[in-house]
Structure 1
Amino acid sequence: MIRWFAAFIGYMVYRFPGAIVGFLIGSLLDNFIGGKKSGGSFQRAFQQQQSGRVTPADFELNLLSLASLVIKADGQVSQQELDYVRKYFVQAYGRERANATFRVFNDVIKKREISAAKICNMFRQRMRYESRLQVLHFLFSIANADGRVSELEVRKINEISGYLGVSARDFSSIKAMFFKNPDSAYKILEIDRTATDSEVKKAYRTMAKKYHPDKLQHMDEAYQKGAEEKFRKVQDAYEQLQKERGF
C-alpha cells in the first residue's frame, strides 16, 4: 500500500516524525485511489453504510434503491424505466462507476428489504432541500419514462416525498410537471386559479428562485440538467398564464 511506502520514505528523511506524516499522506492517497476503483470498493461501501459510516458511494446506492421502489410500485418492471435509470447514472457518474453501482445493487442490496424511510432519513440529514426536490423530480422522471405515471407510482413517490421532508405543495408542484390538465400551470407555481395577476408574478419569482439550476451547482451534471428541466417547466407555466390572462 502507498501508506507504508510513504511512511518508509518519511522515516528515511525525517525519522519517526517523517514516518507519521508519510503514513497519513499515503493513507489519503490510498483512499483516493480506492474510491476510483469499481466492484470491491462499492461492496465495502455498502458494508460501511450498514455499520453507520458514510462513504461517497452511499448516495448512488441509495438513490438506485429508491428508483427500484418506484419501478416496482405498479407491479410491472418497465424496460423503458430501467433504461432511463441506467442512462441517468452513466451521465452522472460515468459508465464504469455506474456499472459498479448496479453490480453491488444486484448482488447485495436487491436481495434485502429496502427501507425508503431509512434511506430518506439519511438524505434529509446530508442533503439540501433543493437537492431533495431534485431527487423527487428524478423519481417522477423514471415513472414517466414509459409514457405514463401510474397512480401506484404516484403513491410510492408521495410516500418517499414525505420521508424526504418535502412539503405537500412542493410535491404537488413537481407532480404537476408530469400531468397536463387545465390547472397544471397553477399547481406548478403553487397558486390557485383565483390568484390575481400580481400574485401570479410573485409566485413565478418565488418558484424560479427555488428551482434555479445554480442551487444544484454542487451536484453532478446530470442533476443540474434535471434542475434546468424543472426551471423550464416553471417558465413554461408562467408563459402559459401570461397568454391566458393577457398580461
Structure 2
Amino acid sequence: MSISKWIGGALGWSFGGPIGAIIGLAIGSMLDAMTDSKGSPFVDQGNSNQGRTTYRTHTRPQTQSGDFEVSLLILSSIVIKADGKQDQRELDYVRTQFVNMYGKDRANHAFRLFKEINKQKNISTRQVCMQIRQMMEHASRLQLMHFLFGIAKADGSVTSDEEQQIHIIAGYLGISARDYESIKAMFYNSSDNAYKILEIDKSASVDTIKKAYRTMAKKYHPDKVIHLGKEHQKGAEDKFRQVQAAYEQIQKERGF
C-alpha cells in the first residue's frame, strides 16, 4: 500500500480542524521524499474535497479507522513528551502496537507520520481533544484512553506528569471521572482495583456488583468499536477481558 493511498483513503473528519492542520504540517515536512514519479504531492487529488472538510458540524460522522489512527498518534506524542523526555520503550510500544493492529506496511507509514508530529511544538491539547470529542463516539474515546495509559506504562511505570497529562486529555475528551478511574485501574495494582474497574465501591452489594458487571461488559464490548475495523476490536477485547477478570476476582473474594 502506497503512502498516497494510506493518507488519501483512510481519513475522514480528521482532514479538517486542528488535527488536519497538525497532519498538514507533518505531511509538509515529508513532501520532498514523498512525491510520486510526476512530482505531485502524495495526497490523492480524488480526496481534495475531503481535505477541506471542517470539523464543525452538528451531524457526527462515523469515525473511520484513519481518524482514530491520527488522533492516537497526536495524543500519544503529547503523553510521551509529558515528563520532559522520550523513552525509547514508549516509542517502541507505539510501533509495536501499530504493527500488531495494522501490519508492518501501514504501521511504517503511521510511524513516519508520528515522528514528524512528534517534532512539532506547541500542539494545543485542548483544541485537538475538542475536535475528537465533537467528532468521535464515546466508545472510541474510551479506547484512546486505554491506549494512552498503555504508552505511559510501557517504560514500567506511569509518572505523575504522564498521569496528569492523560487526566487533562480525559477531561477535554468528555470522559467521566468514573470511566477515567476504571481505565486507569487496569494499569495499576491495588486491593480495590477490581471495584474501580467495575466503577463501584468496595461496600457494594452482590446485586450491585452483578449489575455493574453487566453495565461495564456492555460499555467495553468490542462490538462498540466494530466500525473502526478488526484491528481496533482486538484492543477493545483487552478492556473487555479485564472487566471479566475484575468480576471474577470479586466473585472469588466475596464468595458468590
TM-score (norm 2): 0.74
Whether 1:201 and 2:210 are equivalent positions in the alignment is yes
Cα distance 1:205–1:108, how it changes in 2: closer, same or farther (>3 A)? Answer: closer
Show the 5 A alignment for 1:15-30: none
Who is 1:111 aligned against? 120
2:242 aligned with 1:241? no
1:91 aligns with 2:64: no
- CA distance in structure 1 between the partners assigned to 2:174 and 2:221 by the alignment: 20
* Partner residue, 1:9: none
Q: Which residue of 2 aligns with 1:186?
A: 195
* Contact 2:222–2:236, Cα closer than 8 Å, also in 1: yes
Select the residue among 132, 138, 142 that pairs with 2:151.
142
CA offsets 1:37-89 (integer angstroms, 9 cap, x no match)? 99443699xx9999664797554333211101111212231111101111222
Which structure has more relative contact order (CA 8 Å, sep 6+)? It is 2
Match of 1:41 in 2: 42
State the match for 2:141 in structure 1.
132
Q: For the structure 1 residues 127 and 33, does the alpha-carbon distance in structure 2 shift closer, same or farther, using more than 3 Å as the test?
A: closer
**Identity in percent:** 54
2:254 partner amino acid: R
> What residue number does 2:228 align with?
219
Q: How many residues align?
A: 215
**Equivalents in 2 of 1:49, 1:116: separation in Å?**
23
C-alpha separation in 1, matches of 2:204 and 2:7: 55
Please give the alpha-carbon distance, in whole angstroms, between the structure 2 residues aligned to 1:76 and 1:202: 43
2:164 to 131, 155, 160: 155
- Cα distance in 1 for residues equivalent to 2:43 and 2:97: 18
Change (3 A) 1:53 1:43: farther
More deviation in 122-131 or 233-242?
122-131
Query: What corresponds to 1:60 in structure 2?
Result: 69
1:101-159 CA-to-partner distances (Å, cap 9, x unmatched) read 33344346623421111111121122110000000000001111122112211111010
Q: Would you say the 8 A contact 1:91–1:221 is kept in 2?
A: no
Larger Rg: 1
CA distance in 1, matches of 2:223, 2:155: 29
SS of the aligned residue for 1:160 comes to helix
CA distance in 2 between counterparts of 1:232 and 1:108 reads: 32
> What TM-score, normalized by structure 1, do the two folds share?
0.76
Confirm or deny: 8 A CA contact 1:73 1:152 kept in the other structure. Answer: yes
* Aligned partners of 2:77 and 2:117 also within 8 Å: no
The letter of the residue matching 2:131 is M
- 2:8 alignment partner AA: G
Residues 108 and 91 (structure 1 numbering): CA distance in 2 closer, same or farther, change over 3 Å? same
Q: Mind listing any 5+ residue stretches in structure 2 that lack a counterpart?
A: 11-26, 28-33, 35-40, 56-62
Gaps of 5+ in 1: 1-30
